[in-house]
Structure 1
Amino acid sequence: MKRLIGATLLAAALAAQAAPPKLEWQGISLSSAEWGEKLPFPGVYGREYVYPSVASTAYYQAKGMNLMRIAFRWERLQPTLMGELDSTELGRLREFVDGTTARGLHVLLDPHNYAAYKNVHVGKPEVPFAAFADFWRRLALQFKDNPKVQFGLVNEPREMPTETWAEAAQAAVDAIRAAGAKNLITLPGNGYTGAWSWFESKWYGTPNAEVMGKVRDPLDNMVFEVHQYFDKDGSGTNTECVSPTIGVERLQRFTAWLKANKRRALLGELGGGANPVCEQVIRSALQHLQDNADVWTGWLWWAGGPTWGDYFLSLEPGKDGKDKPQMRWLEPFLKQQ
C-alpha cells in the first residue's frame, strides 16, 4: 500500500512538472473614468466622465475573466502636484476597486495619462520625477493592503526620450516600494508601449529594448505591459486587420526578447474588429501567449465600459444583453484556464 501511495504521489508530482504553465490573467480594460480631457477640465462627473459600476464586472467575471484594468486621470485624483489626493475622486476609485476585489477579481490601476500631467510630460521642470513619484507614493499607501490591486504606472508613455521615461518609472517603483507596498507593478515602454515597436529607433528615440530592462524592482514583482493592435498602423482605430498571420508576427520578436532577458509581460491591450480575418488574428495571438506562458502573464481586451455605445472594439453587452461577436473568440481562452 505504501508503495502504491508513493508511486501515485510521484506520478502526480511528475505530471505537475510536465504540465505547461498557464496564463495568470485574462480580462478587460474598462474605460470611461478618464474621458472628458478635451472639455473644460476636470469636467462634470456623470456627464463628461463616469466610473464603471462594480455590478457591471459580473458579466466579465461570469465569462471567466479575472482582471479588470480601470482607467482614470491623474489630474482628477491629484488636482495639485505634490498635493493631497482629492477625497471625492478617490472615493469613486475606491468604491470600484474595493467592490470589485471583494467579488474575487483583481484590479489593475491605470492612470490613463501618457506619462503627462495636464499635457506636460514627466521629466519637464513643471512635472519633475519627484511629482510622479509622489503621486505613486500616495496611491500606493491607499491600496497597499489589498493584494488584489495591481499598479500600472501609466498608460502608453509618448513624446519623450526613452531614457527620461525609464528614470521616471524607476522613481515611481522606488516610491511604491518605499511606501511598503508589495503589489504587482506593470511597467509600460515608451512610444505607446507597442510590442511590435519595442525595437523601434526611428520615431521615439532609443529603443525600449535597450533601455527599459534597466528599470528594476527590488521585490522582483514587476512585469512589462505592452499593447498590440493588428490594423495597418497598429493603432487599433481601424476595423480591418492586416492579415491572418499578423498577430503572431507582431508579438514573436518581443516574446523572444522576454525569454532572452528572463523577464515577463502582460499584453495590456489588444483588440480587433468583428470580421473573419481579425478573428483568426486574435485567436492566433492568444494562442501565442498561451504557448509562451513562461514569459507572458496574460492579456486584457480593449475595451469595456458603460459609455462606448456602438464602438467596434467594445465588449459591453448590448441593451438586449447579447454578447458582442468578439466575446465568442475569447471564450475558449477563458475556459481553458
Structure 2
Amino acid sequence: MLKYASVALALAALGVAQQSEWGQCGGIGWTGATTCVSGTVCSALNAYYSQCIPGTASVTSSAPATGPTAPAGALPRLGGVNTAGYDFSVATDGSFTGTGVSPPTSQYTHFTAEGANLYRIPFAWQLMTPTLGGSIDQSFLSRYDQTVQAALNSGPNVMVIVDLHNYARWNGGIIAQGGPTDAQFQSIWTQLAQKYGSNSRVIFGIMNEPHDIPSISTWANSVQGVVNAVRAAGSKNFLLLPGSSWASAQAFPTEAGPYLVKVTDPLGGTSKLIFDVHKYLDSDNSGTHPDCTTDNVSVLQTLVQFLQANGNRQAILSETGGGNTSSCEMLLGNELSYVKSAYPTLAGFSVWAAGAFDTTYVLTVTPNADGTDQPLWIDAVQPNLP
C-alpha cells in the first residue's frame, strides 16, 4: 500500500494525478491525489474524508453527502458496536464447547450516551438450542434477553442485532449441504421470531460469516427458507442476509449478491431484507492484527454501486474494526466516514468489539476501568456515529 501511496504523491506533485468520480481526494492522513476528474469536485464530508462528487461547487460541511432517497421503511442511520461474550468458543466450523460470558450491561448506557444506537449481540447456536432443531433453552434465553433489554433500554432509538454466530454450521456440518437441514435452521428463527417478532427495534442477524460454502445457490435457498419461516411466525423485523466468504463486502457483488438479491419477502417489497457484510482492515482481512493497511473505501464503493444497480438495496457493515494504533485510527476513520456518507445504501456499522472482551484484546473498544474510552473509539468510531 505504501508503494502506491508514494506513486500517487509523486504524480500529484506533477499535477497529473486525478481521482475518479466518487474517489477519495482528502481528509486527515490522506496522502493521495487531491484533484478530481472533470465534472466532479473534491468535497469535504468531514475531517476524515473528502470525496470527488459530481457537481461544480465545493461542499464544505460535516453532513453526509446526499445519496439515493431511502426506501419507505428503510433502516435508519445506525452506528455502534458488537458486544461479544455469548459467542465465546464458537469455532469457525460451528462447534462449541463453552458456556458463554455475559457482556457487561453498563457498556450500553456508556456507548449510547456517546452517540451509539446499534448493538450486535452474538450467541452460539448450541447455547440457544442445545439439541439441533430442538426447543430453545429458556434459561439461556432469559439470560440473553436480559442483555438485549439492557441494550434496548439504553436509548429510545437503539436497535439490537440478535446474531446467530455459527458460520452456517453446526459441529462441522454446513446447513443444507451435509449438516443441519433447512428445517432445523428455520426452527431456531421461528422460535426467536415468537420471542422478538413484536419488537421493531430488534434485527435478526440470521447467520454470522458463512464461509467455504460449496453451493451459493443452495445457501440462498436456505436464507429464503428462514425469511419465509419468520414471516409465517408473524415477525415483521428487519432481517440481515449474509453472503459467502465470511460475509465479505468485497466478494458480495460477484459471489452471493446475485443470488441474494432474488430473495423475496412475504411482506412484500424488499426494504426489510438487508444485506449483512463484513470487512476488516489488516493485511489479510482477518481482524487478527493491530495494524491496518487499507480503508476499504474502494471495496465499499463497488458494493454501493452493486446495491444501487439492484433496486437501491441496503446493506450494513456489521463487523469491522482495528487495533488501537495510529494506522487503524486513521484508516478505520476513513472507512466509517465513507459508510456514513453512503447512507441510505449503507445503513451503518457496528465495530468489533467490546462486551466481555477485556482491554488487552487486539481489537478492543471495551472502555477502561476508569470509564475512559480506547483511542480507536475516540478517534475513528465516535466521530462517525449517527
Q: TM-score range by the shorter chain?
A: 0.7 to 0.9
Measure how far apart 1:83 and its partner are.
Answer: 1.5
Equivalent position amino acid for 2:147 in 1: F
8 Å CA contact 2:82, 2:352 repeated in 1? yes
Per the alignment, residue 249 of structure 2 pairs with 195
In the TM superposition, what whole-angstrom CA distance separates every residue of 1:129-161 from its partner, at most 9, and x where no partner exists? Answer: 111111111111111122211100110011212
Structure 1 segment 302-321 matched on structure 2, within 5 A:
302-321=352-371
Task: For residue 141 of structure 1, give the secondary structure of its aligned residue in structure 2.
Answer: helix
8 Å CA contact 1:302, 1:313 repeated in 2? yes
Pick aligned residue for 1:174 from 200, 213, 228: 228
Measure how far apart 1:240 and its partner are.
Answer: 2.0
Q: 1:87 to 1:252 in 2, by over 3 A?
A: same
Per the alignment, residue 9 of structure 1 pairs with none
In the TM superposition, what whole-angstrom CA distance separates every residue of 1:63-86 from its partner, at most 9, and x where no partner exists? Answer: 110111001011111111221111
- Structure-2-length-normalised TM-score: 0.74
Instruction: Name whichever of 143-152 and 313-322 sits farther off.
Output: 313-322
Measure how far apart 1:42 and its partner are.
Answer: 4.5
Query: Which segments of 5 or more consecutive residues in structure 2 lack a partner in the other structure?
Result: 1-64, 71-75
Equivalent position amino acid for 1:189 in 2: G
Measure, in 1, the Cα distance between the counterparts of 2:361 and 2:328: 16
The structure with the largest helix share of the pair is 1
Per the alignment, residue 141 of structure 2 pairs with 90
In the TM superposition, what whole-angstrom CA distance separates every residue of 1:231-266 from its partner, at most 9, and x where no partner exists? Answer: 1221111222224xx421221111110111121100
Task: For residue 184 of structure 2, give the secondary structure of its aligned residue in structure 1.
Answer: helix
Measure how far apart 1:19 and its partner are.
Answer: 6.7
Task: For residue 56 of structure 1, give the secondary structure of its aligned residue in structure 2.
Answer: helix
In the TM superposition, what whole-angstrom CA distance separates every residue of 1:147-196 from its partner, at most 9, and x where no partner exists? Answer: 21110011001121211211111111110101000011111111101111
Per the alignment, residue 209 of structure 1 pairs with 257
8 Å CA contact 1:42, 1:76 repeated in 2? no
Q: 1:242 to 1:42 in 2, by over 3 A?
A: closer
Measure, in 2, the Cα distance between the counterparts of 1:143 and 1:181: 8
Equivalent position amino acid for 2:350 in 1: L
Per the alignment, residue 257 of structure 1 pairs with 306
Structure 1 segment 93-242 matched on structure 2, within 5 A:
93-104=144-155, 105-160=158-213, 161-199=215-253, 207-219=255-267, 220=270, 221-242=272-293
Measure, in 2, the Cα distance between the counterparts of 1:119 and 1:99: 33
Equivalent position amino acid for 1:318 in 2: N
Structure 1 segment 15-54 matched on structure 2, within 5 A:
24-37=77-90, 42-43=97-98, 45=99, 49-54=100-105
- Number of residue pairs the alignment of both structures matches: 305
> Runs (4+) of structure 1 moved beyond 4 Å?
18-23
Structure 1 segment 71-90 matched on structure 2, within 5 A:
71-90=122-141
Per the alignment, residue 204 of structure 1 pairs with none
Instruction: Name whichever of 19-28 and 167-176 sits farther off.
Output: 19-28
Equivalent position amino acid for 2:284 in 1: D
Measure how far apart 1:32 and its partner are.
Answer: 1.1
In the TM superposition, what whole-angstrom CA distance separates every residue of 1:258-302 from its partner, at most 9, and x where no partner exists? Answer: 111121100111112223332222122122122211311111111
Per the alignment, residue 61 of structure 1 pairs with 112
8 Å CA contact 1:26, 1:66 repeated in 2? yes
8 Å CA contact 2:244, 2:251 repeated in 1? no
8 Å CA contact 1:77, 1:89 repeated in 2? yes
Q: 1:194 to 1:87 in 2, by over 3 A?
A: same
8 Å CA contact 2:240, 2:274 repeated in 1? yes
Measure how far apart 1:55 and its partner are.
Answer: 2.5
8 Å CA contact 2:329, 2:375 repeated in 1? no
8 Å CA contact 1:26, 1:300 repeated in 2? yes
Measure, in 1, the Cα distance between the counterparts of 2:285 and 2:89: 24
Measure, in 2, the Cα distance between the counterparts of 1:26 and 1:63: 11
8 Å CA contact 2:168, 2:209 repeated in 1? yes
Measure, in 2, the Cα distance between the counterparts of 1:181 and 1:209: 24
- Structure-1-length-normalised TM-score: 0.85
Equivalent position amino acid for 2:256 in 1: N
Identity of aligned residues (%): 33
